Amino acid sequence: MVGQSIPVSLVYHYFALIILNSCCLNLPKPPFIEISTHCVIKYFMGIITKKIRNGTYAYLAVREGRKVIHKYLGSVHDPLVARIIRDNKEASSIPEWLQYLFWDTSLNKIHMKRNARYIIERVLEFGDMNALGWLQKIYPAQIILNVLYVSRTITEKSRNFWMLWYGVDDA
């Protein structure tokens, strides 16, 4: 993995999510996770930068059990890595243009990981297509579907619509 760049879509897909090996769930195997005979929970933690001599380099921080592993992304001057870092910063908070969905709280108080269910519920219940596009960049479809299954705040009408939208058979 050293010397290779990780695509932006991978960072979007696994931002702020618990990643399980496919032996635990029937999910596609991400390219940077090795399949083992036992389940290992891996958390995407973020992107860090390190200054080494005259260069600055970016690393993807992933937690495997008790270990934190830094996967090399590349120099921060590489356009792809710079884009990943910029997109990661944008994905770490709710944009100002979505304030109308969260009228009852300050955007600064909403945490993207801890309040993922709240964010998904609000966007699915009150959001427009632009808000849905932002939501799908931040959270993968499986997380959105899980919220649809367990949420008590999404109306039945909205739940049925989104189940059909995502192609769920039992809508």
Domain residue extents for the chain:
8-78, 96-165
C-alpha separations of 69 from 44, 55, 100, 161 in Å: 10, 21, 38, 40
Helical H runs in the chain?
8-14, 79-90, 116-126, 129-138, 141-150, 156-165
Given a contact cutoff of 8 angstroms between Cβ atoms, the answer to whether 123 and 143 are in contact is no
Given a contact cutoff of 8 angstroms between Cβ atoms, the answer to whether 37 and 27 are in contact is no
One pLDDT digit (tens) per residue for the chain, 171 residues: 444 444 444 444 443 333 333 333 344 444 444 444 444 455 566 788 888 888 899 888 888 778 888 888 889 899 988 888 887 777 778 888 999 999 999 888 888 888 999 999 999 999 999 999 999 988 888 899 999 999 999 999 999 999 999 888 775
The dihedrals phi and psi of 163, each to the nearest 5 degrees, come to -65, -40
